[in-house]
Amino acid sequence: MREIGTNPNVAIVSLDEVGEGGAYHEYSIRNLKHTKTFARIKLQKGPLKETEQNGCFQEDLIEICIDRLRCFQTSSFACRENKLALMKLEEALMWLGKRTTDRINRGVEGKLEI
Protein backbone atom coordinates (compact mmCIF):
# COMPACT_ATOMS: atom_id res chain seq x y z
CA MET A 1 0.00 0.00 0.00
CA ARG A 2 1.05 3.53 -0.67
CA GLU A 3 -0.60 6.92 -0.34
CA ILE A 4 -0.85 9.33 -3.26
CA GLY A 5 -2.55 12.65 -3.93
CA THR A 6 -2.16 16.31 -2.99
CA ASN A 7 -5.41 17.10 -1.17
CA PRO A 8 -4.54 17.46 2.54
CA ASN A 9 -8.09 16.45 3.54
CA VAL A 10 -8.23 13.23 1.54
CA ALA A 11 -6.16 10.05 1.56
CA ILE A 12 -5.89 8.14 -1.71
CA VAL A 13 -4.31 4.78 -1.00
CA SER A 14 -3.36 1.93 -3.31
CA LEU A 15 -4.72 -1.28 -1.81
CA ASP A 16 -2.91 -3.95 -3.79
CA GLU A 17 0.59 -4.79 -4.89
CA VAL A 18 2.09 -3.64 -8.17
CA GLY A 19 0.97 -5.91 -11.00
CA GLU A 20 2.88 -7.34 -13.95
CA GLY A 21 2.44 -4.10 -15.90
CA GLY A 22 4.06 -2.07 -13.12
CA ALA A 23 0.85 -0.43 -11.87
CA TYR A 24 -1.62 -0.73 -9.00
CA HIS A 25 -5.20 -1.86 -9.63
CA GLU A 26 -7.23 -0.90 -6.59
CA TYR A 27 -7.49 2.35 -4.65
CA SER A 28 -9.54 3.73 -1.78
CA ILE A 29 -10.34 7.37 -1.21
CA ARG A 30 -11.24 8.54 2.27
CA ASN A 31 -11.86 11.75 4.12
CA LEU A 32 -9.14 12.23 6.74
CA LYS A 33 -11.33 14.31 9.04
CA HIS A 34 -14.05 11.66 9.32
CA THR A 35 -11.86 8.65 8.41
CA LYS A 36 -14.67 7.50 6.14
CA THR A 37 -13.89 5.73 2.87
CA PHE A 38 -16.22 7.21 0.27
CA ALA A 39 -14.86 5.61 -2.88
CA ARG A 40 -13.10 2.46 -3.90
CA ILE A 41 -11.83 2.16 -7.45
CA LYS A 42 -10.94 -1.13 -9.04
CA LEU A 43 -9.06 -0.96 -12.33
CA GLN A 44 -8.67 -3.74 -14.85
CA LYS A 45 -6.09 -6.29 -13.77
CA GLY A 46 -4.71 -8.38 -16.60
CA PRO A 47 -5.09 -8.11 -20.36
CA LEU A 48 -8.59 -8.70 -21.74
CA LYS A 49 -7.52 -11.43 -24.15
CA GLU A 50 -6.09 -13.37 -21.20
CA THR A 51 -8.45 -12.28 -18.37
CA GLU A 52 -12.12 -11.35 -18.25
CA GLN A 53 -12.93 -7.74 -17.45
CA ASN A 54 -12.62 -7.29 -13.69
CA GLY A 55 -12.35 -3.53 -13.31
CA CYS A 56 -12.71 -0.21 -15.06
CA PHE A 57 -10.09 1.34 -17.30
CA GLN A 58 -8.22 4.58 -16.67
CA GLU A 59 -9.96 5.93 -19.77
CA ASP A 60 -13.30 5.39 -17.98
CA LEU A 61 -12.18 7.56 -15.07
CA ILE A 62 -10.95 10.27 -17.44
CA GLU A 63 -14.34 10.17 -19.25
CA ILE A 64 -16.09 10.77 -15.92
CA CYS A 65 -13.88 13.79 -15.20
CA ILE A 66 -14.46 15.12 -18.72
CA ASP A 67 -18.23 14.81 -18.32
CA ARG A 68 -18.16 16.57 -14.95
CA LEU A 69 -16.07 19.48 -16.25
CA ARG A 70 -18.29 19.83 -19.33
CA CYS A 71 -21.28 20.10 -17.00
CA PHE A 72 -19.51 22.77 -14.93
CA GLN A 73 -18.74 24.67 -18.12
CA THR A 74 -22.47 24.93 -18.90
CA SER A 75 -23.18 26.41 -15.46
CA SER A 76 -22.22 29.42 -13.39
CA PHE A 77 -19.06 27.48 -12.44
CA ALA A 78 -17.61 27.86 -15.95
CA CYS A 79 -14.09 29.26 -15.83
CA ARG A 80 -10.79 29.33 -17.65
CA GLU A 81 -9.22 26.76 -15.32
CA ASN A 82 -12.03 24.25 -15.93
CA LYS A 83 -11.69 24.81 -19.67
CA LEU A 84 -7.93 24.18 -19.59
CA ALA A 85 -8.30 21.10 -17.38
CA LEU A 86 -10.98 19.79 -19.75
CA MET A 87 -8.69 20.30 -22.74
CA LYS A 88 -5.85 18.41 -21.03
CA LEU A 89 -8.11 15.51 -20.05
CA GLU A 90 -9.42 15.30 -23.61
CA GLU A 91 -5.81 15.31 -24.81
CA ALA A 92 -4.91 12.53 -22.35
CA LEU A 93 -7.82 10.46 -23.66
CA MET A 94 -6.65 11.06 -27.22
CA TRP A 95 -3.11 9.86 -26.41
CA LEU A 96 -4.40 6.76 -24.63
CA GLY A 97 -6.56 6.06 -27.68
CA LYS A 98 -3.50 6.42 -29.90
CA ARG A 99 -1.64 3.96 -27.69
CA THR A 100 -4.49 1.47 -28.10
CA THR A 101 -4.54 1.93 -31.88
CA ASP A 102 -0.78 1.40 -32.02
CA ARG A 103 -1.10 -1.77 -29.93
CA ILE A 104 -3.88 -3.06 -32.21
CA ASN A 105 -1.72 -2.39 -35.27
CA ARG A 106 1.16 -4.33 -33.67
CA GLY A 107 -1.16 -7.21 -32.72
CA VAL A 108 -0.50 -6.92 -28.98
CA GLU A 109 -3.67 -5.18 -27.74
CA GLY A 110 -5.33 -7.20 -24.97
CA LYS A 111 -2.14 -9.15 -24.31
CA LEU A 112 0.56 -8.79 -21.69
CA GLU A 113 3.09 -7.84 -24.35
CA ILE A 114 4.86 -4.61 -25.25
List all residues 6 or more positions away from 63 whose beta carbon is below 8 Å from its beta carbon: 93
User: 101, 93 in Cβ contact below 8 A?
Assistant: no
Question: Distance (Å, rounded) from C-alpha 84 to C-alpha 42?
Answer: 28
Q: Which residues of 10-30 are buried (b: 16+ CB within 10 A; e: fewer)?
A: ebbbbeeeeeeeeebbbbeeb
Please report the pLDDT score of residue 12 as a whole number. 96
For residue 35, what pLDDT is reported? 82
From first to last of the 114 residues of the chain, give the pLDDT tens digit. Answer: 899 998 999 999 999 999 988 999 999 999 998 888 999 999 999 998 889 999 999 999 999 999 999 999 999 999 999 999 999 999 999 999 999 999 999 999 999 888
